[in-house]
Structure 1
Amino acid sequence: MTIAISQTDRLGANPFVVEGPIVAGSGIPGPNFSLGTVAGGDRESEWVYCQLVLASQTTLQPGQWFQWTRDYVASLLTTAAAVVGNRCGVFAGASQAPTQSGGPAQAITLAAGTYYIWLQRNGQAPALVTTATAALVVAETTATAGLANAPASATATTKAIANVNFAAANQTFTATTVNGSNQLTALGNVSPSGGPFIGAAISGTGIPGGTTISGITYTPSGTIQSITMSANATANGTAITVTATGVLEATLMRPFLSKVN
């Protein structure tokens, strides 16, 4: 299973570039596409071009959920602000492989201002999910902006996200740890499009509880070279099994907010 990493060439669009901030009179070019423009790509993907207005500094992470209005003004999805009937999708990332420090799964911190971004509404994509069960039968909003939930049964007062399902509740891969280092190397069963993904919670021998993936480093050819953890390993380990949860591969089918649970 893999996520989408490209759009059609004819549009010249790049889903991993955030345009802006747009400041009137600054000489910075305005939006390059009409709001609501749709671009297709691999893995049955579709991206929608939306405006994003940020009131304060905000970090966008691949897999975060957004909703957008009929005027294609996007906002981070949260239960309190969710509007039933609004379309929704995920942020794909902020840069594009091959680079040594980036790839199609990097976070970006933006100052307050007006931006234009591509949000994925169809195909396979990383998605933030706080809780997932083996059944993965329900997708719903949460109180945390950009974070969805996928419990076995609906949570009262949340809002349902229709037309999305998840490949699995977790992902496993192998890695080498060094005591006192935050780097995972000699990786097995990983790929830029297949994950694991930035923000995922990881566990394994020698990995402290509560550790997440804070960065991914790529080779010049675009393969994953190493993974940066949010904490240092507490033991040396070779080919340990690492389990990643919280950022899962989702299949989006033009999801929308369908009802209040």
Structure 2
Amino acid sequence: MTIATSQTDRLGANPFVVEGPIIAGSGVPGPNFALGSVSGGTKESEWVYVKLVLASSTTLQPGQWFQWDRDYTATLLTTAAAVVGNRCGVFAGANQAPTQSGGPAQSISLVAGTYYIWLQRNGQAPALVTTATAALVVAETTATAGLANAPASATVSSKAIQGVNFAAANQTFTATTVNGSAVLSSLGSVNFEGGPFIGAAISGTGIPGGTTIAGITYSPSGVVQSITMSANATANGTAITVTATGVLEATLMRPYLSKVN
């Protein structure tokens, strides 16, 4: 299981670059591509170029769900705002130097303004999900902006997201913990394409309840070196099993909002 990490067939396109805020008369060009432009990359991926207008400061996290209308204006997906027939996809993450915490696909905090971003609609990508039922090909919206759900049976009044599949309900890996430290080291079953991903909830021996992945540090060659947790470990542990949920690899098949459940 691996997510897409590059985009190659449109000159200058990069799915991890957020353009903006665009201010009229500033001399900063925008948009750099025609809205609705599609570009492809690794792992059968496709991205769509859209406009995003933020009314207030907002943090975009890898895996957040968006919908976009026929004018290719995108908004964070919620049940209340979802429009049946709109296309939808996920934010793949923002660019960052690979030696820094966060790696090639990280969260990004944006002030209010107009932005242009690439949203992934096809291929394998990190996706925010509350409950993930493996092999389910229909997900649904939730009341939380950018968060999807994939239960075994539909939730009444939610909007169905057609064309998405979660391979598993969670992800496991091994790590070493140090009492009083937020760093997980000596990682096993971890790679920069396959996750785990920033924002995922994690649990395991010596990891406090409610802990999430706050950062990931990579070597210049892309090897995952360590994971920073949102809380300090409460015990020393070697090769403990860590379970990650909430941000999981999904296969996107040009998803769209198909109906009201």
TM-score bracket for the superposition, by shorter chain length: over 0.9
Q: How far off its partner does 1:184 sit?
A: 0.5
C-alpha root-mean-square deviation of aligned residues, in Å? 1.2
What amino acid is the match of 2:23?
V
**Residue 62 of structure 2: aligned partner:** 62
In structure 1, C-alpha distance between the alignment counterparts of 2:94 and 2:135, rounded to whole Å: 31
Q: How far off its partner does 1:173 sit?
A: 0.3
Q: Flag the 1:209–1:102 CA change in 2: closer, same or farther, 3 A.
A: closer
Q: Percent identity at matched positions?
A: 86
**Residue 161 of structure 2: aligned partner:** 161
In structure 2, C-alpha distance between the alignment counterparts of 1:30 and 1:17, rounded to whole Å: 13
* Structure 2 counterparts to residues 17-32 of structure 1, below 5 A: 17-32=17-32
**Residue 250 of structure 1: aligned partner:** 250
Does residue 229 of the first structure (1) align with residue 229 of the second (2)? Answer: yes
Encode CA deviations 1:145-189: one digit per residue, 9 max, x unaligned: 000000000000000000110110000000000001111011111
* Structure 2 counterparts to residues 37-186 of structure 1, below 5 A: 37-95=37-95, 98-134=98-134, 136=136, 138-186=138-186
Q: Are the aligned partners of 1:136 and 1:169 in contact in 2 as well (CA < 8 Å)? A: no
Encode CA deviations 1:221-257: one digit per residue, 9 max, x unaligned: 1111111111110000011000001111100000000
Q: Flag the 1:10–1:47 CA change in 2: closer, same or farther, 3 A.
A: closer
**TM-score, L = length of structure 1:** 0.97
SS at match of 1:80: coil
Q: Are the aligned partners of 1:201 and 1:210 in contact in 2 as well (CA < 8 Å)? A: yes
Encode CA deviations 1:30-62: one digit per residue, 9 max, x unaligned: 111000000000100000000000000000000
In structure 1, C-alpha distance between the alignment counterparts of 2:11 and 2:51, rounded to whole Å: 18
Q: Are the aligned partners of 1:64 and 1:146 in contact in 2 as well (CA < 8 Å)? A: yes
Q: Are the aligned partners of 1:201 and 1:246 in contact in 2 as well (CA < 8 Å)? A: yes
What amino acid is the match of 1:64?
Q
Q: Are the aligned partners of 2:58 and 2:111 in contact in 1 as well (CA < 8 Å)? A: yes
Does residue 195 of the first structure (1) align with residue 195 of the second (2)? Answer: yes
Q: Are the aligned partners of 2:90 and 2:119 in contact in 1 as well (CA < 8 Å)? A: yes
Q: How far off its partner does 1:217 sit?
A: 0.8
**TM-score, L = length of structure 2:** 0.97
Encode CA deviations 1:101-126: one digit per residue, 9 max, x unaligned: 34233000000000000000000000
Q: Flag the 1:135–1:163 CA change in 2: closer, same or farther, 3 A.
A: closer
Q: How far off its partner does 1:136 sit?
A: 3.3
In structure 2, C-alpha distance between the alignment counterparts of 1:246 and 1:102, rounded to whole Å: 17
Q: Are the aligned partners of 1:89 and 1:119 in contact in 2 as well (CA < 8 Å)? A: yes
In structure 1, C-alpha distance between the alignment counterparts of 2:243 and 2:105, rounded to whole Å: 18
Q: Which runs of 5+ in 1 are unaligned?
A: none
Does residue 216 of the first structure (1) align with residue 202 of the second (2)? Answer: no
In structure 2, C-alpha distance between the alignment counterparts of 1:191 and 1:100, rounded to whole Å: 16
Q: Which runs of 5+ in 2 are unaligned?
A: none
